[in-house]
Amino acid sequence: MSSALLEQLIDALRVLPGVGQKSAQRMAYHLLERERAGGQRLSQALSEAIEKIGHCARCRDFSETPVCPTCASAARDAHLLCAVESPADRLAIEQATGYRGLYFVLQGRLSPLDGIGPRELGLDTLAARLGEGEVQELIIATNPTVEGEATAHYLAQLARQHGVKPSRLAHGVPLGGELEYVDRGTLSHAFGSRTEVG
């Protein structure tokens, strides 16, 4: 007979993407058999992160402070704003390119079937930011998926409404791909040769 606590642990691990019943079971057994100290560290780090990490009021990226270090930095170019779908996409661009502007993290993409519209992506916050007059170019770095392209089109219209030039990452990022998994060279090239959205 299986322990209720063990079942609870296995069920909790299944919340992670790509983790099914068998994988969750293996993880739970590994933690209990060989990595109890690691499990304690994981538990503590997860608890602290959930409690203390929120969203930056300016860019919506994950942050422990009301305004993240990137948005607070005077060394960044406030005339350039790059819109990405996720914090992982922002990190990929930051690591692969020499981009020194600011970001806006959508935390998703337009997907009416999933109930994700402009409000869920914080586009009212983005519109207010574009309306401040400091941003001159909105670099649209959504993923080249159907939803990503629809989001890009919406963002381009929003930029134009505020007199901001919209641009899109150039080809080189594979259609249907995810930025977070594209190699650095391809991403760097696509970012460097971005084009204006027509």
Predicted pLDDT of residue 172: 63
DSSP 58-124: TT--EESSSS-HHHH-TTSEEEEEEEESSHHHHHHHHHHS---EEEEE-SS--BGGGTB-TTTTTHH
For the domain covering 62-196, report its CATH number: 3.40.1360.10
Q: Which residues pair with 138 in a beta bridge?
A: 81, 166
For the chain, percent of residues with pLDDT exceeding 90: 70
For the domain covering 4-52, report its CATH number: 1.10.8.420
Exposure of 25 in the CB half-sphere (CA atoms within 13 A)? 5
pLDDT-derived band at 1, boundaries 50, 70, 90 = very low
Same CATH topology for 4-52 and 62-196: the answer is: no
Mean pLDDT of the chain: 89
Give mean pLDDT, residues 184-197.
Answer: 73
pLDDT-derived band at 19, boundaries 50, 70, 90 = very high
pLDDT in tens, 38-65: 999 999 999 999 999 999 999 999 999 9
If you average pLDDT over each of 16-20, 109-113, 187-191, which comes out highest? 16-20
**62-63 and 54-55 beta bridge pairing:** antiparallel
Say yes or no to pLDDT of 85 above 70: yes
Say yes or no to pLDDT of 142 above 80: yes
User: What residue has token string 């040769």?
Assistant: 193
In angstroms, the first-to-last Cα distance of the chain is 63
Say yes or no to pLDDT of 129 above 50: yes
- Evaluate if pTM is beyond 0.75: yes
Give mean pLDDT, residues 71-99.
Answer: 94
If you average pLDDT over each of 53-57, 113-117, 143-147, which comes out highest? 53-57
Domain ranges of the chain: 4-52, 62-196
